[in-house]
Chain A
Amino acid sequence: MAEKMQLNEVEVWDGNMAAAQALRQAQIDVVAAYPITPSTPIVQNYSKFLADGYVDGEFIMVESEHGAMSGCVGAAAAGGRVATATSSQGFALMIEVLYQASGMRLPIVLTVVNRALAAPLNVNGDHSDMYLGRDAGWINLCSYNPQEAYDMTLMAFKIGEDLNVRLPVMVHQDGFLCSHTAQNVRPLQDEEAYGFIGEYKPVNSMLDVANPVTHGVQTEEDWHFEHKARQHNDLMNSVSTIKKVFAEFEKLTGRKYDLLHKYKMDDAEVAIVALGTTVESAEIAADRMREKGVKAGVLGIRVLRPFPFKEIQEALKNVKAIAAMDRSAPGGTFGMLFNEIGAAMLQSGKTPVLLNYIYGLGGRDTTIAHLTDIYEQLDRCAKSGKSEYPLQQFIGLRGPKLSFY
């Protein structure tokens, strides 16, 4: 049994330390990792915990992120609780194995510190890696600050390992803005955190030698489709487990989470929909707009996969103008949030104005001023009842204005 670490009621942790502490408290059997900026301190802290006797499990150093996720898949198939961390190019290198992990139904936890994808090379934050992996069949939880990074990482184990789910879970946080910004975090004590997650229950593990099992089989056209349907079904239905775990966590800590994070949405007429640290900035901008009499709200996506389609329809049903904020290079189309929120609104029968803002690429600052500008645009659209601006606009970009459609 590993040494217990005595934690203060309030610790000053950045997002990386918060995630590392959650990994330590989960008493993971195997962490296989290849550190990459800005997620490096997660596994760096974790290896220090190991060296200091606070971790019992194995820490495997590998030759690449592809190797890291492969090691995780092997260890999870063998029957262990497994986690790792990555960012950007490392995440991209893991992609092939991310699909193996979800297809093999291995509840691995991956903390992703979001960062731009090259080229050009950039170590700062945007959501390009998150967007790259969103269809990999993992549950995707988004945290906006170190406290949430800690909470979501703990809950990720409990959600993914639930016997009705058995799927890998990614926990996202913004590179540098969350990962390297120290804030007050209220941790659980070690026994409390471990008690919440519970002991790991292996399913069809390869180390159960009396019951040999083949993982990662070849299926071809005979039953690949059925297998993918089962995986999709279980991912879609993981919502009930996610809600159950959120509720249990609230009971334990008083911190309430839901599929969506709503700020002043009850009577909102204009809303910014965003992911990551921008959600908190948008809350300040919304308050400023409210002082000017504009009914502004913020909708943060907390669970990106499974996508909370119905809940988004419900949350936005009375909103007249929506900004879908995509912090990823759009690559020849609209941003993912614009497309997915557009689909949800179309099916809801409501036709609010929906605009796509591309912002913050490669760590470019997005300020309260930018966000209040966006609210001003939304307000004008809400008043006129139609789109007064191009559908896709770039925010905070130098040079002439860039927009499409």
Chain B
Amino acid sequence: MSSKDIKELGWDELVPGACLFSFTEPVENVVDLTMDERPYAPTNSHEASVGDWRVEKPVYNRDLCIDCQFCWIFCPDISIISRDKKMIGIDYDHCKGCGICVEVCPTNPKSLLMFPEQTDNEEALASWPEKEKK
């Protein structure tokens, strides 16, 4: 597969069967590699932004998070970035804004909340709600 954008390739350059390759080279130990370390091929969806039609985005508040990893497990788009079992942020190139992460976050107040796409993250964090009384 050439390194050209797939949209630029002529019919005779495409891999028969519209196969897309994940990596540029064979990878035996993929589970031991973090996403940054994997040799993703240009045809891997990790390399393409697929979150550009999001309307609302999740904003993440480090101060409240207990690193339970619920959001990481439940996100259908693998868009929660986690390192050594610690939440470190959201991959906005792939997050579709479905809100599932917010739904499953168990802290009070939630450590993840949905905001309109155009809201600045700093602004969102400044307006974070207080702990809810039971």
Residues on A facing B (Cβ under 8 Å): 103-106, 166, 203-204, 210-217, 219, 222-223, 225-227, 229-231, 233-234
Q: Which of A214, A223, A230 contacts B16 (CB 8 A)?
A: A230
Q: Is the CB of B23 within 8 A of A103?
A: no
The verdict on B9 contacting chain A, using a C-beta distance below 8 Å, is yes
Contact check, B20 vs A223: say whether CB atoms are below 8 A apart. Answer: no
Of B12, B20, B23, B27, the residue contacting A217 (CB under 8 A) is B20
Starting from the known contacts A214-B20, A222-B6, A223-B18, 11 additional A-B residue pairs (CB-CB under 8 Å) come to A104-B17, A204-B19, A210-B26, A210-B27, A211-B23, A211-B26, A213-B20, A214-B22, A225-B11, A227-B11, A233-B12
A105 partner residues in chain B, CB cutoff 8 A:
16-17
Question: Which one of A166, A219, A234 lies within 8 Å of B18 (CB-CB)?
Answer: A219
Mind listing 19 A-B residue pairs with CB under 8 Å?
A: A104-B18, A105-B17, A166-B16, A166-B17, A204-B15, A210-B26, A210-B27, A211-B22, A212-B21, A213-B21, A214-B19, A214-B20, A223-B14, A223-B18, A226-B9, A226-B14, A229-B11, A230-B11, A230-B12
Instruction: Report the minimal beta-carbon distance from A236 to chain B, rounded to whole angstroms.
Output: 13
User: Which A residues lie within 8 Å of B28 (CB)?
Assistant: 210
Residues of A within 8 A of B15 (CB): 204
With a CB–CB cut-off of 8 A, which chain A residues contact B26?
210-211
Cβ-defined contact, B19 with A215, below 8 A: yes
In whole angstroms, what is the CA distance A404 to B26 when docked? 62
- Residues 11-67 of B contacting A (Cβ, < 8 Å): 11-12, 14-23, 26-28, 30, 43
Q: Is the CB of B21 within 8 A of A227?
A: no
List, in ascending order, chain A residues with CB within 8 A of B43's CB. 214
Cβ of B7: which chain A residues have Cβ within 8 Å of it?
222-223
Q: Is the CB of A227 within 8 A of B19?
A: no
Q: In the complex, are the beta carbons of B18 and A227 less than 8 A apart?
A: yes
8 tightest Cβ-Cβ pairs between the two chains A and B = A105-B17, A226-B11, A229-B11, A210-B26, A212-B22, A214-B20, A105-B16, A230-B11
Q: Shortest CB–CB separation between residue B93 and chain A, in angstroms?
A: 18
Please give me the residue from chain A that is nearest to B21 by CB atom: A213
Q: Say whether, besides A222-B6, A223-B9, A230-B12, A213 and B18 are in contact (CB < 8 Å).
A: no
> How distant is the Cα of A203 from the Cα of B27 in the complex, in angstroms?
17
Inter-chain contact A103/B18, CB cutoff 8 Å: yes
- In the assembled complex, how far is the CB of residue A94 from the closest CB belonging to chain B, in whole angstroms? 19
Question: What is the CA–CA distance of A91 and B15 in the complex, to the nearest angstrom?
Answer: 28
Closest to A77 in B: B17
Inter-chain CA distance A211–B27, complex, in Å, is 7
B16 lies within 8 A of A234 (CB): yes
Residues of chain B within 8 A (CB-CB) of A223 are: 6-7, 9, 14, 18
B17 → chain A closest CB, angstroms: 3
Q: Which of A204, A213, A234 has the largest number of chain B CB atoms within 10 A?
A: A213
With a cutoff of 8 Å between Cβ atoms, the chain B residues found around residue A214 in the complex are 19-22, 43
* Bound complex: CA A217 to CA B16 (Å): 12
Which single member of A211, A216, A230 contacts B14 (CB below 8 Å)?
A: A230
B residues in contact with A226, CB < 8 Å: 9-11, 14
Closest A residue by C-beta to B29: A210
A234→B21 CA distance, assembly (Å): 21
* Complex-state Cα separation, A230 to B14, whole angstroms: 8
In the complex, the answer to whether B21 meets A211 with C-beta atoms within 8 Å is: yes
Chain A residues within 8 Å of B18, by CB: 103-104, 215-217, 219, 223, 227
CB neighbours of A211 from chain B (8 A): 21-23, 26-27
Complex contacts, A103 vs chain B, CB 8 Å: 17-18
Given the complex of chains A and B, what is the CA–CA distance between A166 and B17 in angstroms?
Answer: 9
**Chain B positions 112 through 132: 1 when the CB is less than 8 Å from some CB of chain A, otherwise 0:** 000000000000000000000
A204 / chain B contacts, CB cutoff of 8 Å: 15, 17, 19, 21
Q: Shortest beta-carbon distance, A161 to chain B, in Å? A: 13
B12 neighbours in A (Cβ, 8 Å): 230, 233
Are the C-beta atoms of B19 and A213 separated by less than 8 Å?
yes
When C-beta atoms are compared, the residue in chain A nearest to B15 turns out to be: A204
In angstroms, how far is the closest chain A Cβ from the Cβ of B31?
A: 11
Which residues of B lie under 8 Å from residue A225 when comparing CB positions? Answer: 11
For A227, give its contact among B14, B22, B23, B30 (CB under 8 Å). Answer: B14
CA gap between A226 and B6 in the complex, in Å: 11
